[in-house]
Amino acid sequence: MDDDNEDGWEVLTGPPQYTTNSEKHLHAFCMAAALGDVAKLQQMLDAKLVRDVNSQSPQKRETAMHYACRNDNANNLKTVEFLFGQGADLDLKDFRGKHSLLLAVAHGHLHIVKFLIENGANLHIVDKYNRSCVHWAAMHKYFDIVKLLLESGARVHYDVCNNWQPLHEAVKGGSLEIVKFLIENKAEINVNAAGNKSKPYTPLHIAAREGHTECLNYLLDCKAEVNAVNQGKQTPLHEAAFRGSKDCCRDLILRGADPHAKNLQMRTPLLDACNQGKLPCAIYCLDAGSFINHKDRINDTALHHLLKNHGRFMFDDHDPMNPNDKKLGAEQLVAFADVLLQYGANPNAPNDEDETPLTIAETLQQNREVVDLMYKAMEKPRTLLHLAKIACRRILRCDSKKVWTLPIPKTLQVYLIQNSSYYSGW
């Protein structure tokens, strides 16, 4: 066939997957569906320029119905109705395993979702990513669509290989409304899901990792296991400390999280917080009673983790305006080290390579103030007043609001709240 066929239709060039004229006609047909051009769809069908309404693109296996369901235009519902009237198969899958309903759900087209469900679209199809319609609606925080799907018979739990459930997706997105609705509809609260490296995570792990405090507390209200572990023995508190989710750290501790929990590397949440430079989380762990000189599998302490991960960089390279720069600046490192020393960190604790925090700091020679702090800590023991302060904070267990109710002078209340001379609090 020539580029201009005998019926006067100009054949579009189309993407590389469309090579023959018939494939290019199919591309034009799909584009008409995407734009909501029902008249052009009818004309092309009348001219028999496409084999049938269910023709799929050669590589991506997409149909005109797929395009109509995912694209946003004022005429998309009429386009879907037209294609369905012409015999479109609602359950044909594209190369990602998505059918029309999955695409409409993922793009938030409630009116199309209603039409497809009313006309028999399969509610239970799972795509190649192990996600159902309910997963996609929860991911994008489409509460009305989640509600419609479940009321229409969609499941709240799916038998997928990684066990990642709609509740995980809702928690990850931080949609408390959807989290509540799924749990009210019998979603399993302590279900494990395989995440990276096949380590199972509960919804509570996800809430802690993402810093979604409201979801976290609602899950705990619903009896989520506060000390659940994944295959790496990470608890939700480990996740919160590692990611710097300070409010989640506080709430987990206040609701029974174990600050002494050890993962497979023998790291406590405190060590994870120090490793990542998350000072507020480290303080919460310390106030919960975490052992300051606990050693991991290679005998690194909290102070080792701080200096090895944040003291080996030239501070001139630290860019505080760059959100991707995870290194601590010079002042932040001093404040962090001071807090650890005030809680009793040992500058002379050796690890498996006979490195002590002091030798690490002296070898780096990048911040003399940290070295001076260590020498002062060794030369001048902590006072009884300071030890009493730490004891009081551990009794209060991260609940700083209680300080202001104590029958002590205001100056002592302020003293209890203050973390160090370098760091007044977060």
Q: Which amino acid is at 302?
A: A
**193 DSSP assignment:** E
According to the model, what pLDDT value does residue 16 have?
A: 57
What are the residue boundaries of the structural domains of the chain, listed by start? 18-122, 292-314+327-395
The per-residue pLDDT for range 83-139, each reduced to its tens digit, is 999 999 999 999 999 999 999 999 999 999 999 999 999 999 999 999 999 999 999
Q: Which amino acid is at 413?
A: Q
According to the model, what pLDDT value does residue 249 have?
A: 97
Q: Which amino acid is at 423?
A: Y
Higher pLDDT, 3 or 188: 188
The per-residue pLDDT for range 223-235, each reduced to its tens digit, is 999 999 988 899 9
Domain 18-122 has CATH 1.25.40.20: yes
CA-CA distance, 249 to 209, in Å (whole number)?
10
316-321: average pLDDT: 47
Q: With b meaning 16 or more CB within 10 Å and e meaning fewer, what string describes 316-337?
A: eebeeeeeeeebbbeebbbbbb
Q: How remote is the C-alpha of 263 from its chain's centroid?
A: 20
353 CB contacts (<8 Å, ≥6 apart)?
298
DSSP string, 245-307: -HHHHHHHHHTT--TT---TT---HHHHHHHHT-HHHHHHHHHTT--TT---TT---HHHHHH
Percentage, residues of the chain above pLDDT 70 = 88
Q: Which amino acid is at 213?
A: T
User: Which regions of 97-199 does DSSP assign to beta strands (E)?
Assistant: 193-194
The CA-CA-CA angle for residues 26, 30, 34, to 5°, reads 170
The per-residue pLDDT for range 252-274, each reduced to its tens digit, is 999 999 999 999 999 999 999 99
390 CB contacts (<8 Å, ≥6 apart)?
342, 343, 344
Find residue 200's DSSP bridge partners.
Answer: 194
Please determine, for residue 291, whether its predicted confidence score (pLDDT) is greater than 70: yes
